[in-house]
Amino acid sequence: MPEGVVYDLGYRPHEGERLGRAGAVRALYRDGVRRVLGMRRRARRKVLPAVLIGIAVLPALFFVALDVFLADFGDLPPFFDHPGYFDWMGNFILIFCALAAGELLIPDRQYGTIAVYASRPLRAADYVGGRAAAMVAVVFGFVWLPHLVLLVGRAWTSSEGFGAYLGGNLDVLWQTAVATLVYLAAYSAPAFAAAVYSSRQSLAIFLYLVAFYAVFATAHAVVAAGYRIVGIVSLPDHAGSVKDWIMGSDTQEWLAEAAGITPALSLLIIAAITGASAWLVMRRYRSEL
Partner 1 sequence: MPSAPARLGGTATSVSVMPPTVAASGLRFAYGDIVALSGLDLEIPSGLIGLVGANGAGKTTLLKLLLGILSPAAGKVEVLGRPMPERTLEVRSRVGYMPEGPCLPPDQTASDFLIYAAELGGLPLRAARQRASDVLTIVGLHEERFRPLGGFSTGMQQRAKLAQAIVHDPELVLLDEPTAGLDPEGREEMLDLITRLDDFGINAVVSSHVLPDIERTCTWVVMLDGGKVLRSGPLTDLSTTESVHLEVLDDRDRVAAALEASGAVVTPDGNGLLVTLADGDPSGLVRDVLADTGVGIRRMGPRRITLEDVYLAGGGGQGGEDA
Per the CB < 8 A criterion, the answer to whether 106 and 198 are in contact is: yes
Residues 66-85, interacting with partner 1 (CB under 8 A): none
Taking CA atoms, 263 is separated from 70, 192, 244, 259, 273, in Å, by 34, 24, 8, 11, 15
Closer CB to partner 1, 54 or 121, in the complex? 121
Stretch that binds partner 1, among 38-46, 61-69, 133-141, 207-215 (CB under 8 A): 38-46
Q: Residue 283, interface with partner 1 (CB under 8 A)?
A: no
Stretch that binds partner 1, among 41-49, 51-59, 158-166, 178-186 (CB under 8 A): 41-49
Smallest separation, CB 10 to partner 1 (Å): 8
Whole-angstrom distance, CA of residue 30 vs CA of residue 104: 11
Question: What contacts 202, CB < 8 A, 6 or more positions away?
Answer: 102
Whole-angstrom distance, CA of residue 153 vs CA of residue 157: 6
Smallest separation, CB 26 to partner 1 (Å): 7
Whole-angstrom distance, CA of residue 235 vs CA of residue 231: 9
Q: Residue 7, interface with partner 1 (CB under 8 A)?
A: no
Residues 102-141, interacting with partner 1 (CB under 8 A): 107-108, 111-113, 115-123
Whole-angstrom distance, CA of residue 123 vs CA of residue 282: 10
Closer CB to partner 1, 93 or 289, in the complex? 289
Whole-angstrom distance, CA of residue 232 vs CA of residue 239: 11
Closer CB to partner 1, 32 or 59, in the complex? 32
Residues that bind partner 1 (CB under 8 A): 9, 11-14, 16-21, 23-24, 26-28, 31, 40-42, 45, 107-108, 111-113, 115-123, 288-289
